[in-house]
Every structure is written in structure tokens, then in C-alpha cells.
Amino acid sequence: MQQIIFFFIRNKNFLLFAFLFIISVGLTIQTHNFHNNKFISSANVVSGAVYTFRNNITDYFTLSKENEQLLQENLRLRKKLAQFRNSFDDEVLDSTVLPSKFKYYTARVINNNYSKSKNHLTIDRGKRDSIKIDLGVISSKGIVGIVSDISANYATVQSILNTNSRINAKLKKSSHFGSLIWNTEDPNVAQLIDIPRIAQLNYGDTIITGGRSTIFPEGILIGTIQDFHLDRDKNYYYVNINLFNDMTSLENVYLIENTEAEEIIELEKRVENVE
Amino acid sequence: MSNSDIIINIVRFVLLIFLQVMILNNINIAGYINPYIYILFILLFPLDGDKGLLIFLSFLLGLSIDIFGDSGGVHAGACAFIAYIRPIVLKYSFGVSYEYKSVKINKADAMERLTYIASLVFMHHLIMFALEIFSFKHILLILKSTLFSGIFTIVIIICTMIIFNKKS
């Protein structure tokens, strides 16, 4: 017994180190798991407040660029609205009950990573703004990521620049489906895999979201084809995509909520259970 | 450890975290090179301080950086490791004189000081990037990030030490 106690006293520094190191590795592995990164995240009161403080300062540097982007988006939406009006002409429509199952929220990015292999963003909206886990995040130019964790006032977003991210995407031209991943090499280039060989690809073709998930609606812009080659088995294409979004400078983003997501997931689960 | 030492170390702890998460995490030279100078806290921790305390504080330091960076426990693990291994590194960089507590890191020979800083920085970076990237497939990426970020960190740490030395 005494020897055991002496052993602990003699090696107390090593044991302390080993204990703490195992905790760190545990925390690290936990973040690899999408739905489990709740223990340690920047969506908490302290870091949220610090990032908001920083952002209040750094915001001013990008104001003119942001304004420009928002103006352009307004212009585009105005044009669409005009077309929409034309097509309905004089029909009376109550705009509050337009049949859309998607709800939109706005948010500001207060922290953005793009230099690691598993990148996250922090935004200044949380539970109190009725943000939920799994909402899609886009900017005016294209896709950004998926909400992975929330606190009362903040949320973290798993960026598409994250090796754990897998998003359903398709070719705009021919609707062939694949998965959007990231190989960590360049923050402006993502990869599309599992596109069947039969698909016709051209440099510069547009890639959009596929709409087969409950997160993103169909047709959110992703990027254009930079180059492509067949993978090892010669069955699927491996495509490099130039992202429309500059992931290194994000300020204002939109969150998309699919109001029917729960219903769809529940239904799919029921089918799985039956099988 | 005297009272003033305790206060200096608390201030250093907090300041370095803020400096790291507010400014240095956003430098991103060539897309991925950042200096991680918050480990200055571990390098400069009093040599006669309690080793167990240092390991625990280093873990907390790394964990704070992790919370801000959403990186799980990669900094915490790397910091705990270099805090644990610091006495050994001290011994081989400063020789036996370290044992008699006569060494002052700021006044030591430049070469000895560089050995000490470089060993700890590279060990820290290697473990940190290995944990973060967490795959043998990307071993080249791990080594590349370690090398470049490591050099950057060492340069900035030495500059910081020189600047703050002259003042006192």
C-alpha cells in the first residue's frame, strides 16, 4: 500500500500530465463528431463577447466592400421582384402567405477560420433569435456552412472548409449528384466527389446545392469547375471547384431554416425502423 | 515564487490569450502560417515554480485558446506536453547550472536560449498540428505547418523577449 502511494507521489507530475493529455485528445476527437461538439466551443458568453468586441472594431475596415456587395444583391433581388410582379400582373397576392417552406434569418460573422483543417465560424445569433442546430448558412454569393452548435446569443458554424463537412451538390446543367468536400489545400477551392463517369463536365460549369438534404434548398450557388479527373477506380470524377464565395472575407450571412425538416426526418426514420 | 512573480504571471496569462485570439490567430501568412506566441507563458514561467502547477496552468492556457478557436483540445494537449517536458529541455539547453537555479532565461547565452526556445516551440507545434489534422495521410502537411509556423513563432518570441528586456 505504501509503495503504491509512493509511486503516485513520485510520478505525480507525469500522472497529471497524462490525465490532462488524455482529456485534450478526448476533446479533440469529440470535435470530429458533428453533433457532439457541444462541450468546448466558441459559442459561449465570454468568447462571444470578446469576438463581438473585436468585430465592432474590424467591421469598419470592410464596410465599403460589404456595402458594395449588399447593393449588388439588392439590385439582383429588385430585378427578380420586378419579373415576379410582371408574371403575376394584377393578380392579388397576399405576400405574407407566399408558399415557401424556407425561413431566412440574417447574422453577422464575428469570427472566421480558414487556415486550419477543421474550420468553424462564429456568428452573433443564437437560441434567442430562434436559431437551431443544422440550419444552413449562406452569404449573398454562395454557400458557407451548417450551424453546428448554439448558445443563447451565439452560434458556431461548421464551415465547408472543414474535412468533416459533406454537402450534397449537383451540376446545374445536368443534375448529376455528388458530395462537396474539402482537401485542406486552398481556402478558395473545394472538391466535388462521386460524380458518375457518365456526366459531361466542362471547365467553368456551375455547381449548385442539390436539395436532397433537409438543410439547403436546391440551387444555392457553390462554384465553378476548375479542373477534374477520374478517380482511381475510373468510375467517378474528382472535381476541383472554384468557390464563388471568398471564404476568407465573410461579414454578413443568411441562415436558412427548412420548416418541414423535422417532418421529413421523422418520416424517413419511420421508414428505416420499419425496414 | 514571490508575490510580484504571481501577479506578473497572471497578467501575462491573460494578456497573451487576448493577443493570440484577437490578433495573431488572424495573420494567416500564405493561408496557414500563424505565430503561436502564447506559449511564452510556459517558456518564462519561473524556474523555481511548482512543476505540477505549471502543467495545470499550461493546460488551462491551451484550453482557453481552444475555446476561442473551436479546436477541441489541440492546444491544451500540446501545452500540457511542453510544460511536462520543460525541466528536461532546460537541463539539456542550459546544462547543469540550471540545477543550481542560477540561470535567468533572459540573461543566458544566446545560443543556449535559442536551443531552449526552438525545442519547446517545435515540440508544441508538432503535437498541436498532429492533433488538429489527425491523420497520417496528411503527414507532409503536418510537418510543413510545424516548420513554417514554428520559425515564425520563434522569431516573434525572440523579438518580444528583446523588446521587453530592454525596458526593465
Cβ <8 Å between B80 and A24: yes
DSSP string, A114-126: -SSSEEEEEES--
Interface contact A265, partner B, CB < 8 A: no
Q: Is B21 on the interface with A (CB under 8 A)?
A: yes
Enumerate residues 6+ apart whose C-beta is below 8 A from A85. Answer: none
Q: What pLDDT score does B167 carry? A: 52
- CB–CB contact B67 A23 (8 Å): no
| pLDDT score, position B92 | 85
| pLDDT of amino acid B14 | 93
Q: How many CB atoms lie within 10 A of CB A108?
A: 16
Does residue B90 register a pLDDT over 80? Answer: yes
Please give the pLDDT value at position A85: 65
Highest mean pLDDT among A31-40, A96-105, B23-32, B74-83: B74-83
| Half-sphere exposure at residue A215, Cβ-oriented, CA atoms within 13 angstroms | 22
Q: How confident is the model at residue B98 (pLDDT cuts 50, 70, 90)?
A: low
State the Cα–Cα distance between residues A230 and A237, nearest whole angstrom.
Answer: 4
Report the CATH architecture of B3-163: Orthogonal Bundle (1.10)
- Find the residue in A nearest to B79 (Cα): A21
User: Identity (one letter) of the amino acid at B168?
Assistant: S
- The closest CB to that of B73, out of A25, A120, A184, belongs to A25
Q: What confidence score (pLDDT) does residue B46 get?
A: 86
Residue B100 — very low, low, confident or very high, per pLDDT cuts 50/70/90?
A: low
Contact B72 A120 (CB under 8 A): no
Confidence (pLDDT) at A225: 92
Q: In the prediction, which pLDDT does B102 show?
A: 61
What is the block-wise mean pLDDT of chain A (275 residues), using blocks of 10 residues?
Answer: 83 90 87 62 77 81 82 80 65 53 85 87 90 89 90 91 89 88 88 88 89 84 90 86 88 87 86 81
A37 touches chain B (CB under 8 A): yes
Mean of the per-residue pLDDT values for chain B?
A: 86
Give the per-residue pLDDT at A40. 64
Could you report the predicted ipTM of this complex, rounded to two decimals? 0.88
For the CA atoms of B37, B38, B44, B47, the dihedral, rounded to the nearest 10 degrees, stands at -130
B69 touches chain A (CB under 8 A): yes
| pLDDT recorded at residue B118 | 94
Contact B71, A118 (CB under 8 A): yes
Cα–Cα distances in Å, from B17 out to A23, A117, B13, B26, B73?
21, 22, 6, 13, 15
In sign, the C-alpha dihedral spanning A89, A94, A100, A106 is positive
Q: Does B63 contact A at CB distance below 8 Å?
A: yes
A30 to chain B: which residues are within 8 Å by CB? 72
Is A184 close to B141, i.e. CB distance below 8 A? yes
How far, rounded to the nearest angstrom, does the alpha carbon of residue A55 sit from its chain's CA centroid?
20
- Tell me the average pLDDT across B68-82: 90
Note if the pTM is more than 0.90: no
Residue B132 is nearest to which of A116, A122, A186, comparing CB atoms? A116
Question: What residues does each domain of chain B span?
Answer: 3-163
Give the residue with greater pLDDT, B20 vs A68: B20
